[in-house]
């Protein structure tokens, strides 16, 4: 199977399976409906725009930090992998939405319900390969990412899901765009 096809399958799994797991767990253990979790009336709220801005803002921080020589090797490896996929704007938007929507529902609405914001944020970063005991560089980048993810965790509780989805989406969109800049 071609790597780009695998990339798209991963996106579909993230956007469909992750929320389903979160919704099922909430419905079964907490008796909370997925409609309640989605807060569909808040999609077009000013907080969604604020989330988009926050994701871009933190993305630029990460881009700046990743330019430090200690992170250059790690960034180059990820860029080579993504460039090899020949991603276009449609691919980048699709995957950014899948990750923002699917992961935020699973982690914020689902896992965070039981583990709280601190532990869920740590778990989120660890699952993405940071806080890696075999790589000091990745662990250091995890520490830099932790405030962003922790802010999303607390924002979910105070502002809502769509702020988190929007921030995650715009952050990923910027990261993908920078990584594949020669292809798009």
pLDDT given at position 84: 81
Summarize the confidence of residues 136-155 as an average pLDDT. Answer: 95
pLDDT given at position 133: 87
pLDDT bin (cut points 50, 70, 90) of residue 103 is: very high
Summarize the confidence of residues 77-86 as an average pLDDT. Answer: 79
pLDDT given at position 157: 92
Summarize the confidence of residues 68-91 as an average pLDDT. Answer: 80
If DSSP states are collapsed to H, E and C, what string results for the chain? CCHHHHHHHHHHHHHHHHHHHHHHHHHHHHCCCHHHHHCHHHCCCHHHHHHHHHHHHHHHHHHHHHCCHHHHHHHHHHHHHHHHCCCCHHHHHHHHHHHHHHHHHHHHHHHHHHHHHHHHHHHHHHHCCCCCCCCHHHHHHHHHHHHHHHHHHHHHHHCCHHHHHHHHHHHHHHHHHHHCCCCC
Summarize the confidence of residues 16-21 as an average pLDDT. Answer: 95
Reported as a single tens digit per residue, the pLDDT across 50-62 is 999 999 999 999 9
pLDDT bin (cut points 50, 70, 90) of residue 183 is: low
pLDDT bin (cut points 50, 70, 90) of residue 72 is: confident
Q: Is the pLDDT of residue 35 over 90?
A: no
Q: Is the pLDDT of residue 76 over 70?
A: no
Summarize the confidence of residues 176-184 as an average pLDDT. Answer: 76
pTM above 0.75, yes or no: yes
pLDDT given at position 68: 87
């Amino acid at each position: 199977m071609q790597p780009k096809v695998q990339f798209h399958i991963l996106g579909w799994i993230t956007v469909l399976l992750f929320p389903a797991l979160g919704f099922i767990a909430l419905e079964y253990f907490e008796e909370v409906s997925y409609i309640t979790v989605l807060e569909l009336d808040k999609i077009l709220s000013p907080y969604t725009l604020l989330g988009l801005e926050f994701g871009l803002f933190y993305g630029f921080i990460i881009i700046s930090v990743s330019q430090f020589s200690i992170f250059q090797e790690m960034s180059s490896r990820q860029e080579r992998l993504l460039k090899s996929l020949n991603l276009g704007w449609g691919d980048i938007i699709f995957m950014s939405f899948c990750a923002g929507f699917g992961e935020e529902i699973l982690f914020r609405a689902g896992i965070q319900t039981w583990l709280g914001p601190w532990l869920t944020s740590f778990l989120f970063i660890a699952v993405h390969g940071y806080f890696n005991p075999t790589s000091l560089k990745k662990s250091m980048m995890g520490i830099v990412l932790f405030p962003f993810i922790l802010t999303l965790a607390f924002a979910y509780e105070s502002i809502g899901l769509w702020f988190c989805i929007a921030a995650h989406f715009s952050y990923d969109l910027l990261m993908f765009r920078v990584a594949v800049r020669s292809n798009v």
